[in-house]
Structure 1
Amino acid sequence: MIQVGLFSFRKGEKGKIKKMLEEGRIDEVLRKASKNKKTADSLIELLEDENPGTVGDALMVISNMVKEGDSTVVVDEKLVRKALELLTSKVTYVREGAMALSMEIAKRYGDKHREEFSKGIERLLDEGDVNQVAFALLLIKELKLIQFKDRVEQLVNIDEKVMLPFEGRRWVKLGDIAKEVLSSL
């Protein structure tokens, strides 16, 4: 009976956070999550929500928290896998939020989650569209994943342009990104 009560409370917290996101109170959610681990956990749970707007908002808040080094967000394998999984979303807002979160995790915790990133990058290179492949290249560069050097070399002559949600990464040739990555490996 106690477990039911705790579960209900947790569901209530997640519901409150979802409502705040839907009302556009993102800064308030960010402040609250920075102080309260339950709120941060609720945000991570919202990555499973059926509403892509809620998922995108949750990604944005979590990404900001990781960027700021907030200790209430636990960056574990599950979160890394979820962020990498959401890179293939059909919804642009979700996909771009997943890119931002994945890159922040790679910058701060890349060494710790190298294996998960390698698996995700492999999937993106094999199955992703041109933008997803370009993002995989940026992750390869960030994490200095030399094992993908041959794959990167295969992309150097691709003239197709990509659009990524990062400064200086809109309408850039995939081959140019590949050349940049190669020079850093």
Structure 2
Amino acid sequence: MIFRQIRNAPTGAYSYVLGDSNNRVGIAVDPVEESQDVLLALIGDLGLDLHLILLTGAHPSAGRSAASLRSRTGAAVIAGSDCKRLETDVQVAHGAYLAFGDEVVHVIGTPGNTLCSVCYRWRDRLFTGATLLIGSCTNASMPCEDPGTLFDSVTTKLFTLPPETLIYPGLDANGRTVSTISEEKASNRCFSNRSRDFFVTLMSA
């Protein structure tokens, strides 16, 4: 198992590299355009062949970064189903899985932040993009398209995962790099002990 987290300091955005150490196959999750050279250098140092680029949402910056990385590596761009605003090679629905080498990533459909948002579950880790941040929720740089649906996605699909599941977000909300489902259910200011109506009002303010 190979796992690396890359933080882009100016934007606070996180990218991830996952790899199969036996077959030397890798994937990138939410690559950040400004960190692309760092990501490619890391992939080279790890001796990985990049096969897939996974996007958690349909934000324009994600599309630009993925297209650039695809042109440099030949890796396929993967996004959620009905993702009309991005150029993708494959669109995946809730319940799908993606194999790289001997490893498997499971797709969890989490519409709301964008209508085709997804999260990716790999082993004990969950990559949430802007759907669920540590202690918080999506910010002004990635405004929410459908707050009610986002609330439903988080509370019915993510908060029902095993409590020890590790959460790796796409954005740095408060200087932390990882959380757990248990912690977010207990203390996330947007979702913990909140009603759907409260959340919709909060996101619409």
TM-score bracket for this pair, using the shorter chain length: 0.3 to 0.5
TM-score (normalizing by structure 1): 0.34
Q: Which has the higher strand share?
A: 2
TM-score by length of 2: 0.32
Rg larger in structure: 1
